[in-house]
Amino acid sequence: MTAELKFYPYDHPELIPAGSIRCFETEMIPYPDHRRRRILVWLPADYDGEKRFPVIYLHDGQGVFECGDGRHKLQADRALELLRVSEGISAIVVAIDTAETRGSELTPPLRRGERGAVVNGHPVPIIDEPSTTDLYAEFVVNTLKPMIDANFATLPDAGHTCIGGISAGGSASYYMILKYPEVFGKAIVCSPGFPMFSLPLMLEDLDSYDFERLKDHRIAFYNGDQGIDVTSVDYVLAVYRKLKEKGLDRRQCMFLLDTRQTHDEKPWGKYLPEILRFLFREDNAEF
């Protein structure tokens, strides 16, 4: 039985215009070093403890909500409030903070590209730490999600559960929906760090993947085409095309490209309402 969580107040509730945020800390059980992490749970304005809601799990929790530090945020709360008022789309957001161990946690164990590789004139970042994304994913699936489902009014099935992230978090989200399609029915993959991996091997892995596991799933890709995002756009487009080739139709798979944008929370936040609309609107045939 999951223990009742001990919540504490969000530092800047005045910066959250609608809904409310609850905070708690938890041990990341699969990790042997007993690392702990802050979790932020945003509850929409129409949350009453009885009506049940979809849940969106987002990596890099420090970049999800306004906190007064002057940096751009995803503003997932504002995106969902806009959709709640305009289209009746509402969801709980669970933001998972990251730490200095982010590189190992969010860089999945996909087969790596060549060391020192250059893509579109830009060197590919090198992360020498061994991947612990399998442990991180196990934490989300077997520790965090049961906590959230036990303490909040959620719709716990895969069709109402989304995993999402940006940059390395985008790579992790892509990896996690493929590994746990019975848990996550939707994924947000923004400007992922795909160039760190071998594109031919990524596409080869998709050729051997059982796509029956994704028959009712939705994946939203976004990428800019300026700065470091230049390195990932061709990779993301290739993966998107492979998914379409394997049978995911326009209601299941979307690719947004803004050639003016770089690798930053401002454009990611700008397109988040459209991404969430695609993922959660019952009839998204127009996309």
Instruction: List the pLDDT tens digit at each of the 287 positions of the chain.
Output: 455 789 998 989 999 999 999 999 999 999 999 999 999 999 999 999 999 999 999 999 999 999 888 888 899 999 999 999 999 999 999 999 999 999 999 999 998 887 777 887 778 777 778 999 999 999 999 999 999 999 999 999 999 999 999 999 999 999 999 999 999 999 999 999 999 999 999 999 999 999 999 999 999 999 999 999 999 999 999 999 999 999 999 999 999 999 999 998 889 999 999 999 999 998 876 65
Rounded to whole angstroms, the Cα distance separating 103 from 10 reads 26
Q: Are 157 and 181 in contact (CB under 8 A)?
A: no
Rounded to whole angstroms, the Cα distance separating 255 from 244 reads 11
Q: For 228, which DSSP code?
A: T
Rounded to whole angstroms, the Cα distance separating 50 from 44 reads 13
- What is the reported pLDDT for 60? 97
The reported pTM is 0.95
Phi-psi region of 155 (alpha: psi -120 to 50; beta: other; left: phi over 0): beta
Q: How many residues does the chain have?
A: 287
Q: Where are the alpha helices (DSSP H) in 158-258?
A: 168-179, 199-207, 229-245
Phi and psi for 224 in degrees, rounded to 5?
A: -90, -175
- What is the reported pLDDT for 286? 62
